[in-house]
Amino acid sequence: MDDGRREILGFLGPLEAMAVNRLEVIFEEIIFNIIRHGFERNSSQCIHVVVERTPGAVQLTFEDDGIPYNLLAATLPPPATSLETAKIGGLGIPLIVKMASKLHYEELHPIETREFRPRNRVIVTVAA
């Protein structure tokens, strides 16, 4: 994950600190969710990330060949009422939604003639 983050930030060049923070959090959370909810153990599944810089924004497109998983339709845990009842996890997706300017998910239909056959696409636009 760290290598991908460094590659993206190196490609984009200088950005405001808040934009860098948003991109890092969003990148890490989406990659984590893809792996956790879409990948089978010990598989050779892949994630491709395309980065595009536009005036005032950065768009990240994540494609993976894992089990279809729409992070926008995920059931979120109820808010904790106390520290003792708080559960670990479940805060990443609301954070992504809050930090992104636009967020889109689509389930793809793999093209059998391609080597990489993505089944999921998440497109995130972040103000920069």
- Write phi, then psi, for 11 (nearest 5 degrees): -65, -40
2/56 Cα distance (integer angstroms):
25
Question: What is the tens place of the pLDDT at every residue in 55-86?
Answer: 999 999 999 999 998 988 887 777 778 888 77
- Strands 47-54 and 57-64, how do they pair? antiparallel
> Can you give the pLDDT at residue 13?
84
Better-scored residue on pLDDT, 36 or 86: 36
Per domain, the residue ranges of the chain are 2-127
pTM equals 0.86
**Percent of the chain with pLDDT strictly greater than 70:** 98
DSSP 8-state secondary structure symbol assigned to residue 126: E
* String of DSSP letters for 50-111: EEEEETTEEEEEEEE-SS---GGGPPPPPPPSSTTT--S---HHHHHHHH-SEEEEEE----
Question: What is the tens place of the pLDDT at every residue in 100-125?
Answer: 999 999 999 877 777 888 999 999 99
Taking the C-alpha atoms of 124, 125, 126 and 128 in order, what is their torsion angle to the nearest 10 degrees? 150
- Map tokens 């990489």 to a residue: 116
Give CATH superfamily name and number for 2-127: Histidine kinase-like ATPase, C-terminal domain (3.30.565.10)
55/105 Cα distance (integer angstroms):
23
DSSP 8-state secondary structure symbol assigned to residue 115: S
Which residues, in sequence order, are bridge partners of residue 103?
124
